[in-house]
A and B are shown apart, each in its own frame.
Chain A
Amino acid sequence: MAALGAWRLLRPGRRWFSETVPGAPSPPGSPLYPPVVASVTAKSKAAKSRRLQRFNQRVHEAATVEEKLRLYGKLQRPKYTVYPQTFALNADRWYRSFTRTVLVPGMPPRGAAAKPPVAAAGATVEAGRAPEPGAEAPAAARAPGDAEAAGDAEAQAAAVAPGAAADAVPCVDIGELRSLTCDALLQESFYQNKKRPFLYRDQDHTPGPFLTQLVSTLAASLCGRNPLLAASSLDLSPEVNYYWHHGEEVVVHGHRKGRVDPVRFQIDDNPHLQIRVPKQLPEVVPLESDLGDVPVIDHKPSKLPLFKKQYENKVFIGSKVADPCCYGHTQFHLLPDKLKRERFIRDRLEDQIEVVYRSNGIASLFAWTAAQAMYQGFWNEADVTRPFVSQAVVTDGKYFAFFCYQLNTLALSAETIKNNHRKNICWGTDSKPLYDVVEDGNVKGFNDEVLLQLVHFLLNRPKEL
């Protein structure tokens, strides 16, 4: 009997105790076993991609924008510090490749809004404007440089302005604005008794205060025309920071040698002045437009030269997230003494003068617009759904260059850039002098176009206003 029992146990085949009733349906919905996925902690590519996925999930699910920014910049590693104002040769080409920007020379076409008509000249757009040039002409005919008359003209123009509040740009009295500019210039450079500037502090001595004065007076006088300026916030020497990944590289030295890492960049910028507004500027061209090519540079960024440092990954537009003025309008940059025109001419590097303006415009505006987009919750896994537009004026006190930037994409990291065909666009002009020379209380060779462009910038606003 025992032999028979043993034979039955040894018989191969079915196990009786684990058999289910044949024909019964399996429980619907929930699977029997958890899903088979890669490990989280292993040293393998699948594990790395799973960790990245979990990180992206965490950032997507973050409740507030502050939490998202905190998680985005939590991991600190060595990164390239990109300086907008740099003496590096051909820096603007490198910066365009880092930020995926197309540079279009000249200013963007502004659709129906032509340049603001001056005095009685030229064609006015609407019929209702016909009485206005007549009203402005006597104002412009008055001698400029008269402070009380300037105040009068302002009051008169402000009274006239409500009648012209349409979508196109209303008339501006260029004579009055010219007088304001010349006043500011003469006050800083001629009337005020200043000591000689300290060594290498020329820019803080005259052009800095002149720029501040100019912008604040122009913004105040144009408040009536542009209600957005009335609700704006003017920052003095704010900080603008942005941190992003672009491309991949292999780690060369250290305990992490041989691993593939994203190339990290950080911009820390201090514009001289900044205007932030509560409503966003309108888009210039549609989101998916292609206006040129982005330069592709095969070399490592350290050949520019660009240096690596590890510190806080900051994303900041000039104010914290809760501030109502969270969109950017215009930035004003002052070039330092190290990047003076005379130095480049002395070193026979005339072509690098424009490069300095362009690199400053591109880098600063990219950082600002991208930081604004991050404040709205977009990041490189969640790309922007509407373009962010900002403007900048780069100057060294006498020469002005104007830039307009449209951010179409934030997705610059190695995985997200593969299927991304959008490019950011920057329109920029060459630097033009505002005046030739200041002599004996007179400003010689004043250039109206530069002032007009500046006024145009300040009057830029969304269509509904």
Chain B
Amino acid sequence: YPLFQRGGPQLRIFRPNFFMLAVRPGVPQPEDTVQFRVSMEMTKVDIRNYLERIYNVPVAAVRTRIQYGANNKRNHRNQRVKKPDYKVAYVQLGQGQTFQFPNLFPEKEQDAETRSFDDFRDKYMEKEKQKQEGDPRRGGVPDWFGL
């Protein structure tokens, strides 16, 4: 982007190429705080404008930090493999709004047919395993010798 000098025009970006990914916070955050992973080049002002103009979300405060990706893992050639760095933004919503990250994989209600099929399958597997093991009265001793 062109560098700003005094008297110059206001930089306006239409259709920005930035993406913001809303993530589930690793540690519990207050109710009005949403956690995003954003591009490394975005600033707090950019994030605020992005959310307010494109998504009409009232933003009260933005705080950012850069998470360093570790460089400890080694590949098959013993070269260090770096995990990429990324910027995390904590956005506090305005006007008293709250946000709770949704549960993306809820437990599904199983109907009677699926449940009975699951039970049948479990019982069959148990019977197969019993056949493989052999007589429990021998106490785990193999049966290819003896009487």
Residues on A with C-beta less than 8 A from B32 are 89
CA distance A349 to B59 in the complex (A): 10
Which candidate, A31-39, A263-271, A298-306, is the interface stretch facing chain B? A298-306
Other-chain contact of A305, B58, B63, B94 (Cβ < 8 Å):
B63
| Inter-chain contact B63/A303, CB cutoff 8 Å | no
Chain B CB count within 10 A is highest, among A297, A298, A303, A347, for: A303
A348 and B33: CB pair below 8 A? Answer: no
Chain B contacts of A88 at CB under 8 A?
61
Q: Are B58 and A348 in contact (CB under 8 A)?
A: yes
Q: Is the CB of A89 within 8 A of B28?
A: no
Mask of A305-318 contacts with B, CB within 8 angstroms, 1/0: 10000000000000
Docked complex Cα distance between A149 and B28 (Å) = 65
State the Cβ distance, B11 to closest chain A Cβ, in Å.
Answer: 20
Instruction: Give Cα distance in the complex from A298 to B27, angstroms.
Output: 12
- 0/1 per residue, A64-108, Cβ < 8 Å to B? 000000000000000000000000110000000000000000000
Do A299 and B94 contact each other (CB < 8 Å), given the known contacts A305-B63, A348-B58?
Answer: no
Complex interface residues of chain B between 76 and 123 (CB less than 8 A to chain A): 92, 94
Chain B contacts of A352 at CB under 8 A?
Answer: 60
Q: Which residues of B contact A303 (CB under 8 A)?
A: 29-30, 33
A88 to B30, CA, bound (A): 13
B residues in contact with A89, CB < 8 Å: 32, 60-61, 92
Q: For the complex, what is the distance from the CA of A347 to the CA of B92, rounded to whole Å?
A: 13
Complex Cα distance A303/B27, Å? Answer: 10
* Contact between A299 and B29, CB atoms less than 8 A apart: yes
| In the complex, number of A-B residue pairs with CB atoms less than 8 Å apart | 21
Contacts of A297 in B (CB 8 A): 30
**Residue pair B60, A299 in contact (C-beta under 8 Å):** no
Contact partner of B30 (CB less than 8 A), chosen from A299, A347, A349, is: A299
Q: How many residues of B contact A (CB 8 A)?
A: 12
Cβ contact within 8 Å between B29 and A349: no
Task: Give the distance in Å from the alpha carbon of A448 to the alpha carbon of B18 in the complex.
Answer: 55
Q: Which residue of B lies closest to A349 (CB)?
A: B60
Q: Interface readout for A273-308 with B: 1 if CB under 8 Å, 0 if not?
A: 000000000000000000000000111100101000
Which A residues lie within 8 Å of B30 (CB)? 297, 299, 303
By a CB distance below 8 angstroms, the chain A residues around B58 are 348
Task: Specify which chain B residues have a CB less than 8 angstroms from the CB of A298 in the assembled complex.
Answer: 28
Asked, given contacts A89-B61, A303-B33, A305-B63, whether A348 binds B28 with beta carbons under 8 Å apart, the answer is: no
Q: How far is the CA of A349 from the CA of B96 in the complex (A)?
A: 11
Nearest neighbor of A305 in chain B, beta-carbon distance? B63
Q: How far is the CA of A348 from the CA of B48 in the complex (A)?
A: 13
Q: Cβ of B27: which chain A residues have Cβ within 8 Å of it?
A: 300
Complex: A299 Cα to B31 Cα, angstroms:
10
CA distance A88 to B33 in the complex (A): 13
Interface string of B15-47 (1 = CB under 8 A from A): 000000000000111101100000000000000
How far is B30's CA from A303's CA once the two chains are assembled, in angstroms?
A: 7
Q: Complex formed: what's the CA distance from A89 to B28 in Å?
A: 18
How many Å lie between the Cα of A299 and that of B29 in the bound state?
7
Residue of A nearest to B33 (CB): A303
Q: Complex Cα distance A352/B92, Å?
A: 13
Instruction: List the A side residues contacting B33 at CB < 8 Å.
Output: 303
B contact residues around A348 at 8 Å (CB): 58, 94
Give a binary string over B56-74; 1 marks a CB under 8 Å from any A CB, 0 the rest.
0010110100000000000
- Are B28 and A349 touching (Cβ within 8 A)? no
Contact present for B63 and A299 (CB under 8 Å): no
Q: Which residues of A contact B60 (CB under 8 A)?
A: 89, 347, 349, 352
Complex Cα spacing A305 to B29, Å: 11
* A208, B107: Cα distance in complex, Å: 62
6 new A-B contacts at CB < 8 Å, known A303-B33, A305-B63: A299-B28, A300-B27, A303-B29, A303-B30, A347-B60, A349-B94
Residues of B within 8 A of A (CB): 27-30, 32-33, 58, 60-61, 63, 92, 94
17 of the cross-chain contacts (CB-CB < 8 Å) are A88-B61, A89-B32, A89-B60, A89-B92, A297-B30, A298-B28, A299-B28, A299-B29, A300-B27, A303-B29, A303-B30, A305-B63, A347-B60, A348-B58, A349-B60, A349-B94, A352-B60
Top 10 closest pairs, chain A to chain B, by CB: A303-B30, A299-B30, A89-B60, A89-B92, A89-B61, A349-B60, A299-B28, A303-B29, A305-B63, A348-B94
